[in-house]
């Protein structure tokens, strides 16, 4: 079932983004044991913990990404997916759910990794995608989306105007709006990050996660929480939300602006209350990083063969800052979320 995180109301597992009270939704199922399917070395390994019917899954699954140790720091390379970001996990599950419900056309307002992932998985699954963008979206991103058969709609105005136009279009046409910021099935996909980490290295002391809309943070939180509810693990890892200066939602807002981390430049995420709960329950905290630190971390990663986008590099910058402040424990894992395009 789906459960509202605000009023507790329960819903059937349909494609639904929010409760009538305005609260966010999470999938709630009870599992008695953790038994990954040994036949698979990709996300299908955890199929019994995903709210989807196997017959609707897209043919190209997100992979099990490796954890590597470099100079004493552990990294999970979660950018090695079909479209180059962890978002493929969430999209994969979402598409299966859309197919199950017979939905063949969707609307989204994003030019980032989530849009690219949605366009790719929709293309291979026969779903038509409408993407709403402002005229100042980066040309490379627009052509990448068009290349994946997305129908791009340009809107004059800022991010909010683009969002409103996408919603109006959805309302007028009846084509569902599928933002990953709210979609509970998306988090079902990203929770497999936790299952993999557990199988790969057990439960780390703490995990540093780039955090804007919270889809990575909440996935890792939900995955580990389910493992604990099953009785498979005895404690949760501390989750550290790394944010970009000027766009903080969990940390106090900085007057400086980190323009490099566009993937987490989301000052008012709709799942903010869920994100606060994830930090609280795991004993984690938020840390905010600036442009100089992001750039230094990006160079460090690149020199060692980790070709990630700047947004991902914030996680390492956050780890460095926590070390400097003496709050990192040393047994830390850094989640690298998106490839450098």
Among 2, 3, 13, 19, binds Zn ion (CB under 5 A): 19
Three-state SS at 326: coil
From residue 44, give the alpha-carbon distance in Å to each of 76, 107, 192, 270, 311. Answer: 19, 27, 10, 29, 28
Shortest distance, position 6 Cβ to Zn ion, whole Å = 5
Rounded to the nearest 5 degrees, what angle is found at the Cα of 13, between the Cα atoms of 173 and 132? 30
If one asks whether residue 1 binds Zn ion (CB under 5 A), the answer comes out as no
Quote the CA–CA distance of 251 and 200 in Å, as a whole number: 30
b (16+ CB within 10 A) / e for 26-64? bbeeeeeebebeeeeeebbbbbebbbbeeeebbebbbbb
Q: Please, which residue, 24 or 65, has the CB nearer to Zn ion?
A: 24
Enumerate residues 22-81 that contact Zn ion by CB under 5 A: 23
Among 1, 21, 257, 327, binds Zn ion (CB under 5 A): 21
Q: Choose one: 6-14, 92-100, 123-131, 232-240; the region binding Zn ion (CB under 5 A).
A: 6-14
Q: Please, which residue, 16 or 142, has the CB nearer to Zn ion?
A: 16
Shortest distance, position 28 Cβ to Zn ion, whole Å = 13
Quote the CA–CA distance of 294 and 317 in Å, as a whole number: 6
Shortest distance, position 16 Cβ to Zn ion, whole Å = 11
Among 4, 47, 334, 336, binds Zn ion (CB under 5 A): 4
Residue in this structure with the two tokens 């800052």, named with its chain if needed: 321
Burial class (CB in 10 A: 0-12, 13-18, 19+), 133: buried
Q: Choose one: 4-12, 29-37, 61-69, 72-80; the region binding Zn ion (CB under 5 A).
A: 4-12
Binding-site residue total for Zn ion (CB under 5 A)?
7
Q: Please, which residue, 11 or 56, has the CB nearer to Zn ion?
A: 11
Contacts to Zn ion by CB under 5 A: 4, 6-7, 9, 19, 21, 23
């Amino acid at each position: 079932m789906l459960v509202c995180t605000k009023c507790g109301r329960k819903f059937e597992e349909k494609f639904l983004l929010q409760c009538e009270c305005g609260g966010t939704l999470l999938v709630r199922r009870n599992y008695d044991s953790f038994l990954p399917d040994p036949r698979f070395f990709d996300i299908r390994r955890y199929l019994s913990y995903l709210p989807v019917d196997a017959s609707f899954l897209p043919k190209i699954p997100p992979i099990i990404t490796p954890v590597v140790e470099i100079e004493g720091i552990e990294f999970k390379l979660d950018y090695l997916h079909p479209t180059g970001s962890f978002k493929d996990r969430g999209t994969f599950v979402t598409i299966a759910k859309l197919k199950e419900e017979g939905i063949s056309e969707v609307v989204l307002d994003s030019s980032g990794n989530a849009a690219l992932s949605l366009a790719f998985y929709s293309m291979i699954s026969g779903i038509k995608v409408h993407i709403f963008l402002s005229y100042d979206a980066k040309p490379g991103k627009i052509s990448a989306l068009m290349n994946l058969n997305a129908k791009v709609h340009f809107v004059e105005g800022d991010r909010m105007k683009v969002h409103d136009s996408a919603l109006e279009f959805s309302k007028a046409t009846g084509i569902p709006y599928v933002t990953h910021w709210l979609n509970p099935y998306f988090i079902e996909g990203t929770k497999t990050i936790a299952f993999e980490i557990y199988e790969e290295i057990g439960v780390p002391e703490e995990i540093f996660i780039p955090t804007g809309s919270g889809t990575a943070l909440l996935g890792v939180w939900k995955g580990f929480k389910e493992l604990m509810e099953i009785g498979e693990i005895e404690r949760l890892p501390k989750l550290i939300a790394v944010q970009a200066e000027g766009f903080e939602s969990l940390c106090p807002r900085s007057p400086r602006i980190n323009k490099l981390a566009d993937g987490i430049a989301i000052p008012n995420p709709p799942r903010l209350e869920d994100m606060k709960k994830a930090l609280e329950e795991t004993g984690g905290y938020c840390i905010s990083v600036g442009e100089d630190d992001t750039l230094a971390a990006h160079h460090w990663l690149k020199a060692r063969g980790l070709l990630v986008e700047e947004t991902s590099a914030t996680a390492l910058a956050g780890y460095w800052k926590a070390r400097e402040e003496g709050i990192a424990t040393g047994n830390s894992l850094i989640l690298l979320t998106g490839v450098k395009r």
